[in-house]
Structure 1
Amino acid sequence: MTTLPFVGRRNQYLFPAALALLIFIVGLRIVLDNSKNSRSFFRLSGGGYRHIRVSNDEIIEKGCNIFEGKWVWDNVSHPLYTEESCPLLVKQVTCQKNGRPDSYYQNWKWQPDGCNLPRFNALKLLEILRDKRLMFVGDSVQRGMFDSMVCLVQSVIPEGKKSLTRVPHRRIFRAEEYNSSIEFYWAPFLVESISDNATNHTVLKRLVRLDSISNHRKQWEGVDFLVFESYVWWMFNSTIINATYVNLKNVQEYNVTTAYKIALETWANWIETNINPNNQKVFFMTMSPTHLWNWEWKTGDGGSCFGETQPIQHPYWGTGSNLDIMGIVKDVLGRLRVNVRVLNITQMSEYRKDGHASIYGERKGKLLTKEQRSDPKNFADCGHFCLPGVPDTWNEILYGVLLQDYRKF
């Protein structure tokens, strides 16, 4: 007699096992397929592993120059924040609150040729910065980049878990849950000068010590991410600057480009001897241009950036950017053994004559008077940018580079 019941019981066990195996294979296939479109990575932090998923559209394509492109109108995704959503902004950059009648400058997105910048993600950046310090070093233009970065991340941090502290020469934004900080350090020449007090400094009688950064470097030591910038303060008189070299009593007039090169070599020597490339990353931001003369981009009347509401949409390089300084940066950084990433924001910022504070900012710590606003030729600020605005794009680029580097960790 055939034992059919036994065969039935065998099939009864085989079928669920086969079904479970099939479900496992399908699930594995889905995971593998998804991995083609996104990448995950982990890092040990605070005693545990943190997980960030990075999709392909967040990765800057290999070989793409993100600094070449154009500004495109985008009033959907830009601005990335508003003046109202970031109460930490200072009056120097809150152009809308200060009376600027248009807001078009907030709605332009930088579109690189042949690739895209990743959408800024504050939570991912904060994860990258977990247990670390990001410091912007330079002048008030660089302080604008710091203010922008703080505005980009602060809204995702709960009240009571964030703080902004001002101490001499520094501003420190803390994200408590991430044990991280975003900082600004005032050093307009990178090397030491009589203008190193962030609030009480001379503008007209500038004196630079070309061979020393001994006070500054104490603040830079051990910082995980350093972003340096120095340009506008060198160009107050575009030909000469008072400086000392070795002998503090020997004050001489130096050609600006000669002095800049010596100063940058002093800074580069510190980078070479003090930066540990295994756990520190250094960036250098090229010059942020000024737009002082409107005849440079149109048939002008001797005016400035005042009243401009559109970017320049054709090839343009104005007198607000110095090619000799650009050459010095390329030469000095090119000789470094330590990798310093250049954030070449100059050309993209050249197009943005519309983004400046103009008469809607501050002068000597105070908003312009009615009389001063009526004289934009003499009082328009065509060096600093409004926020939200152009510096947000600089930070979008910095974020994209940090995200790409972090993915390789």
Structure 2
Amino acid sequence: MEINPTINNKWRFCTFASFIGCMILLFCMNQGQERVKLSTLPTMGASMALYNDSDDQHAAANTQFFLQPSNIIEYGKVVSEEEAPESCNIFDGKWVYDPMTSPVYNGSQCPFLSDQVSCQRNGRPDFEYQKWSWEAKGCKIPRFNGTDMLERLRGKRMIIVGDSLNRNQWESLACLLYSAIPSSQAQVQVKSGVYKVFRAKDYNCSVEFYWSPFLVELEENRESGSKILRLDKLSYSATKWHGADIMVFNTGHWWVHTGKIKAWDLLEYEGKLVEKMKIESAFEIAMKTWAGWVDDNVDKNNNTKVFFRSISTEHKGKQWCYNESKPTMDESYAATFPSSIVEIVERTVGGMRAPVRYLNITKLSKYRRDAHPTVYTAKQGKVLTPMQQRQPMSFADCSHWCLPGVPDTWNRLLYASLVFDNSTDAFIS
């Protein structure tokens, strides 16, 4: 039987069209699956994560997804680099009253918090200072997610080195992580103010604090009794910094102390003792000593992440912290800390070979004169007596911060910097 050529051509066309239709259907189904994956992203209050092929493929809030580096994940929304804002400065923004999600933890959940920062335990009657959240301009900051942070720390060491304000930050981070896991899975050592450590057993990770207010060595001469600050020799604890995967440093506050609270009698540089030197000159030498160590010792493959935290604002004088209960938005407030010290930090960090992220918490802390311990604190290891509390001019602490409180936001921004790992705004350029 002879087949009609017209019918044969129609059959070929139908076959080809069916094949093209199947391909289109398979493509649409695949795109649908990708949309389902993205719809499972954590929402507000959970973790936001950015992954690419080179990242550690950790689970974020029990969700795993992997995207090309050209994508930015923002609370479930996928934005191409072309559509994304040119910059996202998480350190520029405002405080927003947020009683539904702040604070992240209750201070009573963390029995190891020191009396110095346990304001509620010391009798502070108000709670409003705990209920404010930092909101950046032009971008979303992920909420701190303790489980996701622990995943990012799995098998790693994190060190926090500096003065008592960095100890304040360590206590905050330790509490944020401690409250995210069963207490039986945590080990916390806090006997000394010089060294503190939090360990999460199931995650095989540690967060360690080393007290070193100058980052360089301060030693008392046994013969003369003089305290010598060695500008070109790192702190004794530097031998313990080696091998850490994440490092957070600070210094500055102790350099500007004068009179009876000045920490040193003599400075030492290149083997010579010096009685007098401009503070800026001494500070810059010490910063270069620290920077040289980081450049020489930090992982050359950039696996180690280094942060330098900026000055934590004190509230003294006209902007005194006592009896304040809510943030101030007074832009006219000028911190009394010497700008020359800040400039030296930024110049040093900007000139280093190793990439150092600048955790610039100065502005956001400036507005929070309500969040200091004031008279609900401890001095020399003892909680203030009722009589001392009635003498705020002599005893109020306007330097450190209550916990829960402002340092939780510092750690939220530290967490965000790890999430946004490619953010250029966290760097000094």
After TM superposition, the score normalised by the length of structure 2 is 0.79
Q: Which amino acid aligns with 2:267?
A: T
8 Å contact from structure 1 (residues 224, 281) kept in 2: yes
Show CA shifts across 1:295-353 (max 9, x none): 2x4xxxxxx31101121112144343321111101111111111110001111111111
Deviation at 1:43, TM superposition (A): 7.7
Indicate yes or no: 2:97 matched with 1:73.
yes
Alignment of 1:211-250 (within 5 A): 211-213=232-234, 215-237=236-258, 242-246=265-269, 250=273
Q: Which amino acid aligns with 2:314?
A: T
1:382 corresponds in structure 2 to 398
Structure 2 gap segments, 5+ residues each: 1-21, 42-49, 66-72, 78-83, 424-429
2:35 corresponds in structure 1 to 33
8 Å contact from structure 1 (residues 321, 346) kept in 2: no
8 Å contact from structure 2 (residues 310, 362) kept in 1: yes
Deviation at 1:34, TM superposition (A): 4.1
8 Å contact from structure 1 (residues 126, 153) kept in 2: yes
Cα distance in 2, alignment partners of residues 315 and 183 from structure 1: 36
Q: Which amino acid aligns with 1:106?
A: Q
8 Å contact from structure 2 (residues 212, 235) kept in 1: no
Alignment of 1:304-383 (within 5 A): 304-383=320-399
2:426 corresponds in structure 1 to none
8 Å contact from structure 2 (residues 113, 171) kept in 1: yes
8 Å contact from structure 1 (residues 316, 351) kept in 2: no
2:284 alignment partner, SS class: helix
C-alpha spacing 1:161/1:305, structure 2 compared with 1 (3 Å): same
Deviation at 1:61, TM superposition (A): 6.3
Q: Which amino acid aligns with 2:247?
A: L
2:16 corresponds in structure 1 to none
Indicate yes or no: 2:215 matched with 1:190.
yes
1:17 corresponds in structure 2 to none
Q: Which amino acid aligns with 1:151?
A: C
Alignment of 1:117-128 (within 5 A): 117-128=141-152
8 Å contact from structure 1 (residues 123, 156) kept in 2: yes
1:95 corresponds in structure 2 to 119
Q: Which amino acid aligns with 1:356?
A: H
Deviation at 1:42, TM superposition (A): 7.3
1:265 corresponds in structure 2 to 288
1:144 corresponds in structure 2 to 168
2:329 alignment partner, SS class: coil
Deviation at 1:216, TM superposition (A): 2.6
1:188 alignment partner, SS class: coil
1:253 corresponds in structure 2 to 276
Show CA shifts across 1:374-395 (max 9, x none): 1101110000000000000000
C-alpha spacing 1:388/1:274, structure 2 compared with 1 (3 Å): same
Q: Which amino acid aligns with 2:94?
A: K
1:264 alignment partner, SS class: helix
8 Å contact from structure 1 (residues 40, 51) kept in 2: no
Cα distance in 2, alignment partners of residues 382 and 33 from structure 1: 50
Cα distance in 1, alignment partners of residues 370 and 58 from structure 2: 41
C-alpha spacing 1:242/1:159, structure 2 compared with 1 (3 Å): same
8 Å contact from structure 1 (residues 58, 400) kept in 2: no
8 Å contact from structure 2 (residues 248, 308) kept in 1: yes
Show CA shifts across 1:29-76 (max 9, x none): 32222456656557898xxx6444475228996511111111111111
8 Å contact from structure 1 (residues 372, 379) kept in 2: yes
Q: Which amino acid aligns with 2:30?
A: L
Q: Which amino acid aligns with 2:107?
A: E
Of 144, 158, 176, the match for 2:201: 176
Structure 1 gap segments, 5+ residues each: 1-19, 196-201, 298-303
8 Å contact from structure 1 (residues 191, 208) kept in 2: yes
8 Å contact from structure 2 (residues 147, 177) kept in 1: yes
More strand per residue: 1
Q: Which amino acid aligns with 1:263?
A: A
Deviation at 1:243, TM superposition (A): 3.8
When structure 1 is superposed on structure 2, of 154-163 and 315-324 the one drifting more is: 315-324
C-alpha spacing 1:244/1:318, structure 2 compared with 1 (3 Å): same
8 Å contact from structure 2 (residues 216, 233) kept in 1: yes
Q: Which amino acid aligns with 1:32?
A: E
Q: Which amino acid aligns with 1:397?
A: L
Of 147, 150, 155, the match for 2:179: 155
Deviation at 1:99, TM superposition (A): 0.8
C-alpha spacing 1:43/1:82, structure 2 compared with 1 (3 Å): farther
Cα distance in 2, alignment partners of residues 64 and 331 from structure 1: 22
Cα distance in 1, alignment partners of residues 249 and 51 from structure 2: 30
Query: What RMSD in Å do the two structures reach over aligned CA positions?
Result: 3.1
Deviation at 1:83, TM superposition (A): 1.1
Q: Which amino acid aligns with 1:123?
A: T
1:199 corresponds in structure 2 to none
8 Å contact from structure 1 (residues 284, 340) kept in 2: yes
- Percent sequence identity is 38
8 Å contact from structure 2 (residues 219, 228) kept in 1: yes
C-alpha spacing 1:173/1:406, structure 2 compared with 1 (3 Å): farther
1:211 alignment partner, SS class: strand
Cα distance in 2, alignment partners of residues 41 and 123 from structure 1: 20
Show CA shifts across 1:162-209 (max 9, x none): 1012476321111111111111111011111138xxxxxx9xx86421
Deviation at 1:402, TM superposition (A): 0.7
C-alpha spacing 1:210/1:44, structure 2 compared with 1 (3 Å): closer
Show CA shifts across 1:2-40 (max 9, x none): xxxxxxxxxxxxxxxxxx999976652322224566565
Show CA shifts across 1:59-101 (max 9, x none): 9965111111111111111001111222221111110110111
8 Å contact from structure 1 (residues 138, 190) kept in 2: yes
Q: Which amino acid aligns with 1:81?
A: Y
